[in-house]
Amino acid sequence: MKTPHQERSATFSEELDLRYLELLKAKAPYVQCKRELLKLEKRWLPRARTPAQRLAIQRIIANTLLTEAYGSRMPWKEFGRGLRRLQQLGFADLGMRVHVSCLYVQALHLFPHKQSREAWDMLEDTERRVRRLRRESPLREEHLEAIAHAEKVARVPRPRS
């Protein structure tokens, strides 16, 4: 049965926002969030008119699940699955790449140490991409601040070369 919010929502983004807020307010565990978000994805994929729309839905759900896995302190098995899924789908934009790279480095203390080189390499690659943006771009500064913060709070240091 659909909630009144779901009946009114006209777009995928609106329904995702409403559903995710409900889950957050209910303090739903990660497993429930994952189940509900995957149901939402399954319901919206057939409605997508183009392959690009399908991909966008998949990326948004994958990114939301990865963020939730990080927030729920999931082990590598779950976080890594979400990370690989997003890498397979490709990042929608540089902002998503920054977000994922920062989460990965900040979550390293929860995973085997063999992940640290990959995470730090990903963050360095992301920083190079950000530095290619025009200096006057407000996104450039915002992304560099996010990367600097991730480096500062990371509990696992950058591996030596």
Has residue 126 got a pLDDT over 90? yes
pLDDT score at 159: 87
Has residue 1 got a pLDDT over 60? no
10 pLDDT tier (thresholds 50, 70, 90): confident
pLDDT in tens, 33-64: 999 999 999 999 999 999 999 999 999 999 99
Q: Is 101 within 8 Å of 121 (Cβ atoms)?
A: no
Q: Which pTM does this prediction carry?
A: 0.90
The residue ranges of every structural domain in the chain are: 10-91, 93-161
> Around Cβ 150, how many Cβ atoms within 10 Å?
21
Q: How far apart are the first and last CA of the chain?
A: 55
pLDDT score at 31: 97
| Cα 136 from chain centroid (whole Å) | 26
Which pair of structure tokens corresponds to residue 32? 């429930």
pLDDT score at 6: 46
Spatial separation of the C-alpha atoms in residues 96 and 99, rounded to whole Å:
5
